[in-house]
Amino acid sequence: MNDKPILMGTDTISGVAPEILDSIISASRVKTLPYGNDIYTKECREIICKIFEKENLEIIPMMSGTASNSLALSSFLQSYGSIICHDEAHINNDEGGAPEFFSGGGKLISICDNLGKLKPKSLKTKIDNMSFKKKNTANISGVSITQLAENGTIYKKKEILEISKICKNHNMFLHMDGARFANALVSQNISPAEATWKLGVDCLSLGATKNGAMAAEVIIFFNNKLAFEAKNKIKQTGHVISKTRFISAQLNAWFKDGLWIKLAKSANNNAKYLSDQLSLFRDFKLLYPTEGNEVFLKIENKTYDQILKLKIIPNLWSKVNDDELVIRFVTSFETQKSQIDELIKRLSNQFIKT
């Protein structure tokens, strides 16, 4: 057993996939127009149209996931409007109030559902109750769901379809925070189109940063009308990067020859392996099925202290009560089976298997 710390709390610890780095290097040797009027960004749009099987998609390459979500939401969230999301949604808990800021005061209305997923039934009840009073209630502009969901599981096609139907019935838009969209895709073995606009998703904040890129996200509008407001706000929110080509170059390499799928598959496989191994220990209670690249476990406080002493660094997720915690392990495209074996080996010296 070596004593190097094993950082496995988030996928943003990872570096950059070699193919993506090569694409950046190659783009650095070219002179091209700034502000998105470059050949890489043009190509990026074409690739996305092809992969998502839809013509003339409007896209916005971005460098930050928070900005990608907030700018997408601001395309239909007015200052006097509101968005319904899960209480534990990243946009509600971890983005410092960015959706509220981008929309100049828009409101997130959160629903507490078990298991970190918005249930169609809860959504319907919420909308009904809000519509009941009508007067002076913030208008509901749309719904945002996260894929992978907040608990690392996948929104199934049927679930998304039900949610999008409720949205359509109430003239609301449906946004998907796809920070780990690729991880959801490979586990279901469906096409990008089948996972989004064919289910009624209006816009997708698709993340590459957690899955191989340096800093690359892209907003994809399946509803072209929505792009108008967002495009007007990119500059004002400071998210026009002068050398935009370097975002697009990352995305182009990420999509090329299915690299994004390959990287996500590797991360998912390792997460499943980790999850299976951890479940063998008596003191680790797996909270949700491991459907993507995240593993959530309930442990006692003292177990957490023991783990840290073994130089294993998970993400401290939440407090259950005064004695118990939830921790999260996340694998990335870079994670090696050998790292997991080393992690399990360290635990085996300390913890009993059932």
**Which 55-94 positions form the footprint of a second copy (CB under 8 A)?**
63-68, 70-71, 78-82, 93-94
* CB neighbours of residue 322 within 10 Å: 6
CA distance 141 to 183: 28
Binding of a second copy by 337 (CB under 8 A) = no
CA distance 64 to 215: 7
| Of 41-49, 104-112, 184-192, 281-289: span binding a second copy (CB under 8 A) | 104-112
Residue closer to a second copy by CB (options 81, 200) is 81
Residue selected from 215, 273, 280, 304 as contacting a second copy according to rule CB under 8 A: 215
Least distance to a second copy from the beta carbon of 31, Å? 5
Least distance to a second copy from the beta carbon of 61, Å? 12
| Of 19-27, 45-53, 194-202, 284-292: span binding a second copy (CB under 8 A) | 19-27
Which x/- pattern, by CB under 8 A, does the window 245-284 give for a second copy? -x--------------------------------------
Least distance to a second copy from the beta carbon of 117, Å? 19
Q: Which of residues 226-245 bind a second copy (CB under 8 A)?
A: 232-243
CA distance 31 to 12: 30
Q: Which of residues 124-163 bind a second copy (CB under 8 A)?
A: 128-129, 132-133, 135-139
Structure tokens at 145: 């769901």
R_g (Cα) of the chain, nearest Å: 21
Pairing mode, strands 81-86 and 139-146:
parallel
78, 14, 40, 12: which is closest to 218 by C-alpha?
40
Binding of a second copy by 316 (CB under 8 A) = yes
Binding of a second copy by 295 (CB under 8 A) = no
Binding of a second copy by 100 (CB under 8 A) = yes
Structure tokens at 188: 């279901």
**Across the chain, where does the E strand assignment appear?**
6-7, 58-62, 81-86, 107-111, 139-146, 173-178, 203-207, 217-221, 285-286, 294-300, 312-313, 315-319, 324-330
Least distance to a second copy from the beta carbon of 140, Å? 11
